[in-house]
Structure 1
Amino acid sequence: MKWGYVFIAAIFEVCWVMGLKYASTLGEWSATIVCIIISFTLLLKATNVLPVGSLYAVFTGLGTAGTVILGMILGEPVHVGKLLLIMMLLCGVLGLKLTTGDTKGETES
């Protein structure tokens, strides 16, 4: 569940980033603020048990990829190059997750 917090926080990051672009009413702005709070609360909770460097790289990578993908779904231009770069980003995120230990400050000898 440790990495689950990061994944859920990234989903809420995508929500608040899109909220910053599309929010126009008080309710939409309120939802955006709630998404920011949830996203960073979960991220902070995950920093208690995971190495901060890898955690933040995975969080921002997932958030970036999710935001670009959702943007394309909502009508932004889709280019093969953009899709390839997202795949590379996600491969890097997956690689970081797979090579990172589960305890804070863990080092390999």
Structure 2
Amino acid sequence: MKWGNVFIAAVFEVGWVMGLKYAHSLMEWSATIICIVVSFYLLIKATSQLPVGSLYAVFTGLGTAGTVIVGMILGEPVHKGKLLLMVMLLCGVIGLKLTTVEKKGESES
């Protein structure tokens, strides 16, 4: 569940990053602020249980990839080079996650 919190935090990161670009009303700005709070709360919670270097790299990688994907869905240009770099980024993120060694007792909770 610890890495699940990181994934959920990254989803909320995508929400607030897109909110910074597209929010125009008070309701949209409120949702953006809620996404910021939830994202950082989950990230801070995860730092107490996971190695900070790997956690932050995975968090920012997932957030970056998610933001690019949502941007493309919303009409930003799609290029072969961008897609290739996204695949490389995700391979790096997955590799970091798979090679992160948790200390004994960290796998609880």
TM-score (norm 1): 0.93
8 Å CA contact 1:17, 1:67 repeated in 2: yes
- Does 1:58 find its partner at 2:65? no
Q: Residue 36 of structure 2 corresponds to which residue in structure 1?
A: 36
- Structure 1 stretches of at least 4 aligned residues deviating more than 6 Å after TM superposition: none
State the identity as a percent: 80
Provide structure 1 residue ranges, at least 5 long, that are not aligned to the other structure.
Answer: none
Q: For 1:15-30, list aligned pairs within 5 A.
A: 15-30=15-30
Distance (Å, rounded) in 1 between the aligned partners of 2:17 and 2:10? 10
Q: Confirm or deny that 1:8 pairs with 2:8.
A: yes
Query: One-letter code of the match for 1:44?
Result: I
> TM-score by structure 2 length?
0.93
Show the 5 A alignment for 1:51-90. 51-90=51-90
Counterpart of 1:36 in structure 2: which amino acid?
I
Task: Report SS of the residue matched to 1:28.
Answer: helix
Equivalent pairs counted in the alignment come to: 105
* Contact residue 49 and residue 103 of structure 1 kept, 8 A: no
Structure 1 Cα separation of the partners of residues 34 and 65 of structure 2:
21
* Distance in structure 2 (CA, Å) of the matches to 1:39 and 1:101: 24
